[in-house]
């Protein structure tokens, strides 16, 4: 689609998981409401990461394995847009692609889902808690060192099934993922962000387009939410500056507070033996600078050593 054409059809690329398809459909529905004449189609794309569900991401290529084929389809014109969970998107994006819209952020917090209806503080000593995230594991261990926190693989449905089968006493998941899938559980405790700092971009969808496709960028621009974009740029500014990988427990959470944006961040060693926290307020007109500033302060306090430890783990 050239920059001067008028778009009448948009193909949205997405992974084929139930959650990914639901997220893409949220964007598709919003586009249909904004542009009633627009034909919007979903194009499921199987990625390398989808073909390696049990692989250790750190050993086989990191988060990029879940977007590589989608990037290629976008760049070569087989699709006009891609929808990603921002927290799963690598800090570096290919030349020629832009994050064209961030719809309003959903709940960025984590939730604990237990079998017996117990919250985090009420779990018995030695309870087995499953999580797919090093970030969650180190924070859980800091809050409850007596728990057996184990890494659990699989999608949301798989993790909940393992909970129901009794393999775990509780699992920790993203609130937004449960909400988007319509999963309602009576034994859910929402973990306050002050106790369990969210992942970079958690709860946010990123809509990606080609930089030279002005027509499609204009269409999707109506979905962009100002505060969500500021938060995304601040958190990803931190991510890019800190230089961590998927083997480094990282967290960053930006949000508006009394006319400024507040960013709180965390970097930890994989075993949780060392955890650094910092935060700052900044001007929302230069959100990425806020993220870089917090990262630079943490690097000066020793975060570089922690990141290198994570990469060597």
- Rounded CA-CA distance 278/301 in Å is 10
- In the chain, what is the greatest distance between 2 CA atoms, to the nearest angstrom? 63
- Rounded CA-CA distance 263/293 in Å is 10
Tokens, residue 273: 């033996």
- Rounded CA-CA distance 133/151 in Å is 7
DSSP 59-85: HHTGGGGGTHHHHHHHHTTS-SEEEEE
Residues 6+ apart with CB under 8 A from 208: 74, 81, 82, 83, 84, 93, 97, 98, 99, 100
Residues 6+ apart with CB under 8 A from 102: 86, 204, 205, 206, 207, 224, 225, 228, 229, 232
Q: In terms of DSSP H, where are the helices of 223-303? A: 226-242, 287-298
CA dihedral 232, 238, 244, 248 (to 10 degrees): -80
Residue 68: how many other CB atoms lie within 10 Å: 16
Question: Could you tell me which residues are beta bridge partners of residue 112?
Answer: 172, 189
Tell me if residue 88 is catalytic. Answer: yes
The active-site residue out of 8, 54, 71, 88 is: 88
Parallel, antiparallel, or unpaired for β 97-101 and 128-131? unpaired
For the chain, helix, strand, coil in percent to 5 are: 40, 25, 35
Q: Indicate which residues carry an active-site annotation.
A: 88
């Amino acid at each position: 689609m050239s920059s001067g054409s008028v778009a009448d059809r948009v193909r949205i690329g997405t992974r084929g998981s139930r959650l990914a398809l639901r997220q893409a459909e949220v964007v598709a529905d919003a586009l249909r409401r904004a542009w009633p004449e627009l034909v919007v189609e979903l194009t499921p794309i199987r990625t390398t990461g989808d073909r390696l569900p049990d692989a250790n991401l750190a050993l086989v290529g990191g988060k990029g394995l879940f977007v590589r084929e989608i990037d290629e389809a976008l760049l070569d014109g087989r699709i006009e847009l891609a929808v990603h969970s921002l927290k799963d998107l690598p800090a570096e994006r290919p030349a020629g692609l832009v994050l064209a819209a961030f719809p309003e952020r959903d709940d960025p917090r984590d939730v604990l889902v237990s079998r017996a209806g117990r919250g985090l503080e009420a779990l018995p000593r030695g309870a087995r808690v499953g999580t797919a995230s090093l970030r969650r594991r180190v924070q859980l261990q800091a809050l409850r060192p007596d728990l057996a926190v184990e890494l659990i693989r699989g999608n949301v449905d798989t993790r909940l099934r393992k909970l129901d089968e009794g393999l775990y006493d509780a699992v920790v998941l993203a609130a937004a993922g449960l909400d988007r899938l319509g999963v309602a559980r009576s034994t859910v405790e929402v973990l306050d962000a002050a106790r369990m700092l969210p992942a970079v971009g958690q709860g946010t969808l990123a809509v990606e387009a080609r930089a030279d496709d002005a027509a499609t960028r204009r269409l999707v621009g109506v979905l962009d939410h100002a505060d969500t974009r500021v938060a995304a740029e601040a958190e990803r500014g931190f991510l890019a500056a800190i230089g961590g990988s998927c083997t480094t427990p990282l967290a960053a959470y930006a949000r508006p507070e009394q006319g400024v944006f507040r960013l709180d961040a965390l970097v930890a060693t994989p075993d949780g033996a060392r955890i650094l926290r910092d935060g700052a307020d900044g001007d929302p007109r230069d959100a990425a600078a806020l993220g870089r500033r917090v990262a630079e302060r943490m690097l000066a306090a020793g975060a570089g050593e922690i990141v290198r430890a994570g990469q060597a783990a």
